Amino acid sequence: MDLAANPYSPGSGLRPKVLSGREAEISAFDLMIARAKLHRPNRGMVLTGLRGVGKTVLLNVLRAHADNHGWLTVQLEGRAEARGRQDVRDRFARELVVAARRHLGRHPGQFFADALTTIQSFSVSVGTSGVSASVDLHPVRAQSGRIDIDVEELVEDLSEPLKAQHSAFGLFIDEMQDLDPDMMSAIVTVQHIAGQRDWPFSVICAGLPNLPTILSATRSYAERLFDYRVIGPLDPEQARYAVARPAKDVGAEFDIEALNAIVAASGGYPYFIQEFGKAVWEVAPTTPFTLEDSRVAIEKGWAQLDSGFFPARWGRATPKEREYMSVMAVDGAGPSRTGELAARLGTKASSLGPTRAQLIQKGMIYAPDHGQVAFTVPGMADFIARQSRE
Ligand SMILES: Nc1ncnc2c1ncn2[C@@H]1O[C@H](COP(=O)(O)OP(=O)(O)OP(=O)(O)O)[C@@H](O)[C@H]1O
Ligand SMILES: [Mg+2]
């Protein structure tokens, strides 16, 4: 097939040609937008799921909906590295000023222009760059240098003007589990206050399956603050749509067995769907695609995943961490019991604590329950098994 016309897009956060199976989350969010218009309070939303399941893409779609409805939106990404703490503040500062100016352009008026001085103070207080010294700053608001106070004052000062416009402030945060504890706590607290004072403010965040536990540990009331949604693999019908539709839109078809083979091999995981879809497009000499095309494509797709998606994660692990994941892989998709892993490695569970913690911190495993661990990357156990066979 014409390689330039390939309609599949494996990659991080790459918008697929067809977003399949996320209607429930999108309509729940659209309801939030409609409620904000009527000055009704909203909870925040938390999207959690494994790697490559489509959290970032969905978060971007929700943000675009909010933007289209005149919300003031800012998008951040948690970063686990040491400099992530300042990076996220700098980005918040910069993005907020840009968003506010854009918002002011779309809704001119003195009321919001006043709030702009608080935004600028916030940005100077929180960020290290990006705001010119010559802008007007608010004399007292959002400049304490304490992130909890500054975020609260910022949201408070935005609330009246945004309400007057039947709009809201949407803070979109990806990889939320990697946000530093001070910023996480400030944001959760302000979501709580916003609910009590009718401020039109919602945090919409995405992260790994351990995010709800982290949020609850940050503030016990976090459980009630958010609409928690697990973003899982697509069911077979949704997966068939995700595979077949992008091709159909550009005039190509799948034989039914060819389609089913790709759906089965992908396990419904969006990243794998895109990888196998891309491969079938590359290997098929003509349309409709046959079962043989799919078989060749699936093999090619796995080879591609084995040289990109999986090693990108595996390569970040130390030898000790790899050893730990190798004994986890014995349990397939898991979960594994930590005591059992220790026994397999001939050591005590307590001595493996630091390795386990490092792997959680790197976002490669998570704890689905007390005394258990599982991979955050779908298919990781099989990848490790393939590696050790080579
Ligand atoms: N609903 C969907 N239908 C079809 N393809 C999708 C869907 N959602 C995501 N994809 C595709 O899946 C891949 C992974 O998406 P995305 O980067 O959003 O996943 P993620 O959950 O954020 O992963 P990570 O945890 O690694 O950040 C992308 O190639 C994207 O195009
Ligand atoms: Mg992502």
Query: Is the CB of 52 inside a 6 Å radius of any atom of ligand 1?
Result: yes
Q: Copy the structure tokens of residue 338.
A: 């930590």
Give pLDDT tens digits along the chain (390 positions).
899 999 999 999 999 999 999 999 999 999 999 999 999 889 999 999 999 999 999 999 999 999 999 999 999 999 988 888 999 999 999 999 999 988 888 887 776 777 888 888 888 888 776 555 556 777 777 777 789 999 999 999 999 999 999 999 999 999 999 999 999 999 999 999 999 999 999 999 999 999 999 999 999 999 999 999 999 999 999 999 999 999 999 999 999 999 999 999 999 999 999 999 999 999 999 999 999 999 999 999 999 999 999 999 999 999 999 999 999 999 998 899 999 999 999 998 889 999 999 999 999 999 999 999 999 999 999 999 998 876
How far from each other are the two terminal CA atoms of the chain, in whole angstroms?
32
Q: Helical H runs in the chain?
A: 23-37, 55-68, 84-106, 110-126, 147-164, 181-197, 211-218, 222-225, 236-249, 256-266, 270-283, 291-307, 309-314, 319-329, 338-344, 353-361, 380-389
pLDDT at residue 129 in the model? 60
Determine the residue of 20, 25, 50, 53 to mutate for testing ligand 1's pocket, defined as the one with the most ligand atoms within 8 A of the Cβ atom: 53
Assess if CATH 3.30.750.24 describes domain 23-230: no
Residue 326 CA to ligand 1 center (angstroms) comes to 26
Distance between CA 225 and CA 203 in Å, rounded?
10
Judge whether 16 and 238 are in contact, CB under 8 Å.
no
Please report which ligand is nearest the Cα atom of 57: 1
Determine the residue of 6, 8, 12 to mutate for testing ligand 1's pocket, defined as the one with the most ligand atoms within 8 A of the Cβ atom: 12
Determine the residue of 17, 18, 56, 240 to mutate for testing ligand 1's pocket, defined as the one with the most ligand atoms within 8 A of the Cβ atom: 56
Assess if CATH 3.30.720.110 describes domain 311-389: no
Q: Helical H runs in 107-232?
A: 110-126, 147-164, 181-197, 211-218, 222-225
What is the DSSP secondary structure assignment for residue 51, as one 8-state letter? T
Which residue(s) pair with 173 in the sheet?
76, 205
CATH topology identical between 3-12+234-307 and 311-389: no
Residue 17: other Cβ atoms inside 10 A = 17
Nearest CA, atom 16, ligand 1: 54
Could you tell me the residue ranges of all domains in the chain? Answer: 3-12+234-307, 23-230, 311-389
Residue 137 CA to ligand 2 center (angstroms) comes to 35
Judge whether 247 and 294 are in contact, CB under 8 Å.
no
Which residue(s) pair with 47 in the sheet?
206, 229
pLDDT at residue 132 in the model? 57
Query: Is the CB of 313 inside a 6 Å radius of any atom of ligand 1?
Result: no
What's the CATH class of domain 3-12+234-307? mainly alpha
pLDDT at residue 144 in the model? 77
pLDDT at residue 133 in the model? 53
pLDDT at residue 153 in the model? 92
Please report which ligand is nearest the Cα atom of 232: 1
Residues in CB range of 124: below 8 A, 6 or more apart: 93, 131, 137, 143
Please report the atom of ligand 1 found closest to the CA of residue 59: 18
